[in-house]
Amino acid sequence: MDWTNKNILVTGGTGSFGKKFVEVMMKEYHPARLIIYSRDELKQHEMRMSGFNQPNLRYFIGDVRDLPRLKRAFNGVDIVVHAAALKQVPACEYNPMEAIKTNILGSSNVVDAALDAGVKKVLALSTDKAVNPVNLYGATKLAAEKLLVQSNAYAGGTNTRYSCVRYGNVVGSRGSVVPLFIKQRESGMVTLTDDRMTRFWISLDQGVRFVIRCIEEMRGGEVFVPKIPSMSMVDLAKVIAPDAEIKIIGIRPGEKLHEVLISEDESRTTVELEDMYVVQPGGALWFGHYWSDVGKPLPDGYHYASDNNTQWLSVEEIKAMVTPIEEELERGLQ
């Protein structure tokens, strides 16, 4: 795919993912135009001042809740990466309607604006918390996934296609436990909700490159899931704060012991490739089933969870992922 003639827009473009996506795009793919769409003028200013000031970059102030503004921003756009979301679990629990407005209604607006503007491809970011959700954030992301996938039914007579990517915790992203553990170790104690807890882990760079690949390969209607390693949260705490006491404080409302990326029910329509899974739309008559000829079906009863994973990060691998984040945080404090 030739990116040099493409106009791209990323919602939530000043977030952790958005900034890394823009960085990789500008260094390696050189799109004709890249629009950063977000609602925070200060973050846009700081991003521009930090070196994101190339002539093919555009900064649009706007909220995904604002459909007319999205339509204006999507004018002439070929590809939309939908990364805007409210994602802090406690904040979503305390402000449920705000999470619904941004994560669900905002995604619906992205769908409508893309269809009206003739955008060719829309890829939305999802999370393992959307599978068998136990908190409102997960529930809103599940609804957003369903919205994006099923909206291909509206787009059947057009060139617009919608797909999703779904992956686990991003190391060092905003709200990640890594900066929290780094801060807590100064006191000699880190808090862990349960010592049995496991999580899927992926770096920002890996997440961005997976998204780029899925944009290139998507047909519409798929949910792409990368094969990524699991990590014990106890191991993570010990790597970051080896001399600190680990205090178990009890699992929080809306938190799981283990996360799931593919449920047992979804596995019936999922195919496995060498380095990812593709969840195909179930029972739909339109596109999205190309992958059955490319991958292999999953066995009955299969589910992909952080505790039954075949890939696990060793202590050395965890340290290699965490060290750059520690160095970046130290530079920010100097």
The structural domains of the chain, ordered by start, are: 3-168+201-227+261-304 (3.40.50.720)
Give per-10-residue mean pLDDT for the chain (334 aa). Answer: 97 96 98 98 97 97 98 98 94 96 98 97 97 96 96 88 95 79 90 94 95 96 96 94 92 91 95 96 70 91 96 93 81 56
Q: What is the pLDDT of residue 290?
A: 82
End-to-end Cα spacing for the chain: 42
Catalytic residues: 129
Determine the Cα–Cα distance for residues 200 and 219; give it in Å rounded to an integer: 26
In this prediction, residue 334 carries a pLDDT of 38
Helices 177-184 and 233-240: crossing angle in degrees, nearest 10, is: 40
C-alpha 105/C-alpha 110 separation (Å) is: 9
For 94, the enclosing helix (H) or strand (E) is helix 89-94
Classify residue 134 by its DSSP letter.
-
Are 248 and 194 a contacting pair, CB within 8 Å?
yes
Strand partners, 28: none
Distance (Å, whole) CA 27 – CA 267: 37
Contact present, 280 and 268 (Cβ < 8 Å)? no
